[in-house]
Amino acid sequence: MGKLKNREIFFDNNKLVYYPGDTLSGYIVVESRGEIKINTLKVYIRGIAKVHWTETKTAGYRLGNYTEHYRSEVEYISLKQTLVGGSKDANKDGAASYPSSSNSSINGAKVSSHHHSTTLREHICDGNSIFPFSFTLPRSGIVTSFEGKHGSIRYYLKAELDKPWTLNHKIKKLFTIITPIDINEREYMVNKRKIMHTIFASLKIFILIKK
């Protein structure tokens, strides 16, 4: 029985910033010592907005103060691909990917590269194995990544390796989404007269203060 040593996610061209409609592609590298059996290898893309803040409230003189937590989250994107195991029907968010092997190298190290075929393989060979993936991000419905004091909007790719009779092995890698804004859209345009009125009003107040 082999032993799983290391797992890592690589994005093509080391790209970490994407726009709606872009293709996010890369590969999972799995390093093992000896051959290991697996049930499935799946990759997921998720985008989630989360908020969390606290408020201190009073429960009365005897009970004193207590802290109340407020939380909420919204999911913007959820995609999945099955790279090993499963069935074509289960691979609804990407191309079916039952792998076959060929030899190549990464950073000078010899690897077994797995590509799409119709042959189901549920084991990983000794050494390094590559499992490519590719997703097309939605053109709408996703927003720009954000990090704040009380919340965040984060996007990540997660790989989950399901081995028999043991806990699943999971790894994640964050990436950034930038959603362009068209400043010519009506909702972003400001009335020029309103701007000029504000400027003249500010100047008038400034002159009166100087006098």
Per residue of the chain (211 residues), give pLDDT as tens. 677 788 899 999 999 999 999 999 999 999 888 888 888 999 999 999 999 999 988 877 777 788 899 999 999 999 999 998 875 444 445 433 333 334 444 443 334 444 433 334 477 777 888 999 999 999 999 999 999 999 999 999 999 998 888 888 899 999 999 998 776 777 666 665 566 666 666 665 655 555 5
In terms of Cα–Cα distance, which of 119, 111, 155, 117 is closest to 135?
155
Q: Beta strands of the chain (E only): which ranges?
A: 3-11, 17-18, 23-33, 36-37, 40-58, 65-84, 98-106, 109-117, 123-124, 127-136, 146-147, 151-162, 169-177
| Measured distance CA(112)–CA(94) in Å, rounded | 22
Reading the block at residue 169, the tokens are 């092995």
The closest alpha carbon to 154, from 69, 53, 51, belongs to: 51
Ramachandran assignment for 98, one of left (phi > 0), alpha (psi -120 to 50 degrees), beta (any other)? beta
- Write down the pLDDT at residue 197: 67
Strand 40-58 to strand 36-37: parallel, antiparallel, or no bridges (unpaired)? unpaired
Burial label, 102 (beta-carbon count in 10 A; 0-12, 13-18, 19+): exposed
- Residue 199's pLDDT is 65
Note whether 159 and 28 are within 8 A (CB): yes
Two tokens, residue 83: 């790279």
Q: What does pTM read for this prediction?
A: 0.71
